[in-house]
Amino acid sequence: MDENVSLTRQIGQRMMAGFDGPRLDDAFVDLVKTHKVGNVILFKWNITGKEQLNKLCEEIQQLVMRETGRPAFIAIDQEGGAVSRLSEDATCVPGAMAIAATGDPENAYQAGRLTGLELRALGVNFNLAPVLDVNSNDANPVIGVRSYGEKPETVIRYALPMMRGLEDSGTLSCGKHFPGHGDTSVDSHLALPVVDKTMDELRSVELAPFQAAIDAGLPAVMTSHIVFPQVDAGTPATLSRRILTGLLREEMGFDGLIMTDCLEMKAIQHSVGTVRGTVEAIQAGADLVLVSHTASLAAEAAEAIRRALESGEIDRAEWERSLERIAALKADYLSRPAPELSIVGSEAHTRENRKLLERTLTPIRVPGGRFPDLGSRPRHLGCPVFRATRVSNLDDDPLTFPAFMAEKLGGSAEATPSNPTEEDIAAIVERAADASGIVIGTYNGHLYPGQIELVNRLASLGVPVVAVALRNPYDLRLLNPNVWSLAAYEYTAKAFDAVAAVLRGEAEAAGKPTVTVLAD
């Protein structure tokens, strides 16, 4: 083989890229043909249905195999709950914090196995889960319900079974976001967060789940774009040799695949830049660099990596070891037989998932020990879902909590603003004045105080008010003690349906929170 072609293919094996839309586009096809990029990441916008996704994965594998001689990692963020990329005709399990609220790690295993089986049937072989972050900062705008809880032992107790479930389904798993994204108040999609902790503090909290997962055989780790100044001043973890090689490889003994989070995120783009970031991540010890969205940037990155290799900026022995890691994982996971497509969204999986979800619903305050009778004129309120973080899906969803609940429980519905003003609140309360009971959904209300003020003002009307947290449960600690409250963890029709069953008295909410919602 021509040496230049061989090097191009090697560089392509070290890269993962994505494209817009449900079909392969010309720019991405050209990227694979020219730069031999050998791995793909999929997002919500790439998926319209299970048959379409299965066909798309086949086309990706045909293209990549033809151009590179190797099958592709096809990766996705199918964490469950708030971060789910699959279409409605597939099974989307509850998210991490919701699963942990069930109190049973076996549910985390089932969630991982069920997810992995459907991904493999669809043609996806690499799930970017479980989340190993400890959500110790309740103002965290990007992790929150994606974490199993606020204590490392909780995360370990549930993340490891999730990992094992993915493994048993034949799907490659990836722990993220090393060395920990749980104590940030900045979204690294938008800016560069800083976690100013000592190594001892990191070892006792952030690093503990990663170490436990490594000891249990975790095959891959994703890095975070966060500065840890007491470990490596000024350098994001993704670009830090001290963190990726010194800490993760040498001290913690990890010999699996290290992949970066997307290098187009603002934390990298606005510091060293995406293209230079790919080179520095490889120098730091990353095996696989992720440029998720822009083919032209991925092409520039491939050329920058080539120049760094040829100039000796990148160590050749480490380069070869990374190629060996990637080849070994592909030989193992990508040769495993896939289940039939018919299992995706099957009746059996739907039933199993419904049972999981029902166990997640978590009562927070229940005055009198039961949810109230809402009367003959209930009023249903709450904002439409919005993009709480850049990792959330982009599409506008016609589903709204108040309309759904009115359909299930009767009464009237009103969609409210995501952060109501004083004027909004006064008008909404006035329109609700003749209601016999009120059900209101919150969505990250602890970060959007107008939502909380609205609930508390409604509580002064003298009728029963039930608040349902449809993302982070922290909202509920800020409410009037007379408000009945329930954590549902996700803004989906199946969660709303389960909430309606609880409010009708047909089901019991028995979950226990794994983060502090109310003071003891």
DSSP letter at 368 equals G
> How many Cα atoms are found within 13 Å in the side-chain-facing hemisphere of 156?
16
Residue type, 80: G
Q: Is the dihedral of CA 88, 92, 97, 99 positive or negative?
A: positive
Per annotation, catalytic residue among 183, 187, 261, 475: 261
Burial class (CB in 10 A: 0-12, 13-18, 19+), 53: buried
Residue type, 203: R
Beta bridge partners of 196: none
Q: Clarify whether 380 is annotated catalytic.
A: no
Q: Is the dihedral of CA 402, 403, 404, 408 positive or negative?
A: positive
Q: Are 294 and 258 in contact (CB under 8 A)?
A: no
Per annotation, catalytic residue among 35, 177, 189, 446: 189
Tokens (6 digits) for 504: 């009708």
Question: 290 in helix, strand or coil?
Answer: strand
The alpha carbon of 202 is separated from its chain's Cα centroid by a whole number of angstroms, namely 22
Q: How many Å is the Cα radius of gyration of the chain?
A: 23
Q: Are 263 and 277 in contact (CB under 8 A)?
A: yes
Q: Which residue has the tokens 């793909």?
A: 40
State the CB neighbour count (10 A cutoff) for residue 79.
26
What are the strands of the beta sheet with 39-42, ordered from one edge? 172-173, 126-127, 73-76, 39-42, 15-17, 289-291
Burial class (CB in 10 A: 0-12, 13-18, 19+), 130: buried
Residue type, 191: A
Residue type, 135: N
Give the pairing type, strands 412-415 and 437-442.
Answer: unpaired
Q: Clarify whether 189 is annotated catalytic.
A: yes
Query: With left for phi above 0 and alpha for psi between -120 and 50, is residue 229 left, alpha or beta?
Result: alpha
Give the residue numbers annotated as catalytic, written as ranges.
189, 261
